[in-house]
Amino acid sequence: MKVERRSATVEDALPPGIHPIIRRVLLARGVGSADALRLELGQLARPDTLLGLPGAARLLADAICEQRHVRIVGDFDADGATGTALAIRGLQSMGAQRVDFRVPNRFEFGYGLTPGLVETFSEQPPDLVVTVDSGISCLEGTATAKKLGSQVLITDHHLPGEQLPDADAIVNPNLPGDNFPSKALAGVGVMFYLLSGVRRELQQRGWFSGSRSAPRLDTLLDLVALGTVADLVPLDVNNRILVSQGLSRIRAGRACPGIMALLRAGKRDYRNVVASDLGFAVGPRLNAAGRLEDMSVGIRCLLSDDSHSALELAMQLDRLNRERRAMQEKMQAEAMQLVDKLETLTSGQHAAFSLCIHDPGWHQGVVGLVASKLKDRIYRPVAAFAPEEPGAVMLKGSVRSIPGLHIRDVLAWVDAEHPGLLGPFGGHAMAAGMSLPEASLDSFSQAFEAGVAHFMEGELPSAQVRTDGKLPAADINLQFAQQLRDLGPWGQRFPEPLFEGSFEVLDQRVVGGAHLKMVLASRDGGEPVDAIAFGRLPEDLPGTRGINLLYRLDVNHFRGERSCQLVVERIVD
């Protein structure tokens, strides 16, 4: 593993008086001015710069004014669930009275607006179908809906294929020719922008008058923050504004009852919530419904206005998440055993560029998590497959990539080089999904390896980690930890600061059966400090008292008290 220190990526126009370490951290993340630090709603990119939004807004405004039946079709992940709840809450706040939702069960219909899902609408077809976080690759489903007499509005953020669906309107910042400055919007972010456009269209029509007032859509930003963080999209400045504003609402106790209940289920205090709490505590519980059963329960949780009902649904999601975790641990152990047998996978003359792995006993809702863990372990793009259902000949696959390799482009290359090998596929730079017959798995594995090698230009991936250098011992304290925390939200493409340091272990003990709690002293002096190394045990430490670490500086909240704590990311040899 290569350790590389971050360097400034922009010129320094930050105001004087900023702590030198904070200045270094910000410049390395492209923040070079005071304006770039202000995460205010007024700084968001304008909705009218999003291609297709004005026409889509008129379509939805017509449906509201004429009280047409609008059906929201979501996706079965946290982005799709929050986007669906956002759409329904937003449209109802603007006067829509006939709006409902459907979310495909991954085991029955698969991903997106499929013909099979649309055919279930045939008895009473909606006037308008609106997709959330899906639809850009659903050509057949869109055609089926239009045959039923429904209009179709696609809202999505996934990369489009060569052909677009024949929808009445499409809103997607990644469409060719769209100059919207934030290509990183999540599906829930796209829906938030569309709702802003609908409200403006209705205002221009004079819809909000008398007893009907224009809603404040910023009251829904808790949903936007959750979906954006959980979908692991890059936190560019636009997304950082959306997430920051949403977190502010949550910390003020003004989130919807469903999010408050999910935080409670995850044992998080809403008053201290940060982006990582949404990513590691709330998002997985919401996602568990779509992975193992039906995301409808997650959406109902987010739509509930009753705290008691929301908590009941959140605890149901919590039980599903525990079941998911046990299933994932078993599958990961099986996958690691297989990888350990492949001694030449990442080294030697015949080292591989990728890994393709399959087990007939695996669960299709969890293979993406297994692929992600394997990718981190071997630093190779990983495609993991499971049967659509037990004994099925069709497989569902999830692919996770490494930095610098656009995995959807790899799949598109495979599809072009080997027509008919892949079934439907789609995704982003770092994650994608697909389906194919089990009989084609070996052929896909070879084609995938060739595709990765092609895009890597024959150079094997080499693991590296980027740090923010050393932190003086005098700055390892609660005050500085809080300053770093306040600079968030941290996340994808805007990573939380990672520091290097040498310490002596003064005390250690195992907590929670699988985590190492330590008391450390910096070799540069200073006061002893608590540290936690998740998933580590005493045998993972070197034999000497001294250790070299890569760590994050965090604020630990425990029984009403705050303290400085190091979160160990790596123990460096």
What count of other Cβ atoms lies within 10 Å of the Cβ of residue 222? Answer: 29
Q: What is the pLDDT of residues 498-518, one digit of tens each?
A: 999 999 999 999 998 889 999
Q: What is the pLDDT of residues 222-235, one digit of tens each?
A: 999 999 999 999 99
Q: What is the pLDDT of residues 321-351, one digit of tens each?
A: 999 999 999 999 999 988 887 766 766 667 8
CATH of the domain at 370: 3.10.310.30
In whole angstroms, what is the distance from residue 502 CA to residue 524 CA? 8
Asked if residue 506 and residue 398 are part of one domain, the reply reads no
Q: What is the pLDDT of residues 48-57, one digit of tens each?
A: 999 999 999 9
Going 553 to 554 to 559 to 561, the CA torsion angle's sign is positive
pLDDT class for 539, splitting at 50, 70, 90? confident
What count of other Cβ atoms lies within 10 Å of the Cβ of residue 341? Answer: 8
Identify whether 39 is part of a domain.
no
| Arithmetic mean of pLDDT, 337-366 | 85
In whole angstroms, what is the distance from residue 493 CA to residue 26 CA? 12
Identify whether 326 is part of a domain.
no
Strand partners, 552: 567
- DSSP E strands in 189-245: the ranges are none
The kind and range of the H/E element at 549 are strand 546-558
Asked if residue 100 and residue 86 are part of one domain, the reply reads yes
Which of 330, 328, 394 shows the shortest CA–CA distance to 106? 394
Asked if residue 497 and residue 423 are part of one domain, the reply reads no
Asked if residue 358 and residue 275 are part of one domain, the reply reads no
What count of other Cβ atoms lies within 10 Å of the Cβ of residue 558? Answer: 9
Identify whether 432 is part of a domain.
yes
- What's the pLDDT score for residue 402? 94
- What's the pLDDT score for residue 391? 80
Asked if residue 248 and residue 380 are part of one domain, the reply reads no
Lowest mean pLDDT among 308-317, 378-387, 419-428, 547-556: 419-428
Identify whether 327 is part of a domain.
no
Taking all residues of the chain, what is their mean pLDDT, rounded to a whole number? 94
Segments forming the whole domain that contains residue 371: 342-462
Asked if residue 472 and residue 457 are part of one domain, the reply reads no
CATH of the domain at 300: 3.90.1640.30
- What's the pLDDT score for residue 343? 61
Identify whether 375 is part of a domain.
yes
Asked if residue 402 and residue 309 are part of one domain, the reply reads no
Phi, psi of 69 (to 5 degrees): -85, 115
Residue 409 has pLDDT above 90, yes or no: yes
Asked if residue 481 and residue 422 are part of one domain, the reply reads no
Q: What is the pLDDT of residues 432-472, one digit of tens each?
A: 999 999 999 999 999 999 999 999 998 988 888 999 999 99
pLDDT class for 33, splitting at 50, 70, 90? very high
Percent share of the chain, pLDDT over 70:
99
CATH of the domain at 494: 2.40.50.460
pTM of the full structure:
0.94
Which of 318, 333, 360 finishes a domain? 318
- What's the pLDDT score for residue 493? 93
- What's the pLDDT score for residue 552? 98
| Arithmetic mean of pLDDT, 534-549 | 84
Asked if residue 367 and residue 285 are part of one domain, the reply reads no
Asked if residue 446 and residue 353 are part of one domain, the reply reads yes
Which of 462, 493, 526 finishes a domain? 462
Count of positions (residues) in the chain: 573
Identify whether 36 is part of a domain.
no
Identify whether 270 is part of a domain.
yes
Asked if residue 306 and residue 440 are part of one domain, the reply reads no
Count up the domains in the chain and report the number.
3
Identify whether 5 is part of a domain.
no
Which of 400, 435, 462 finishes a domain? 462
Asked if residue 174 and residue 202 are part of one domain, the reply reads yes
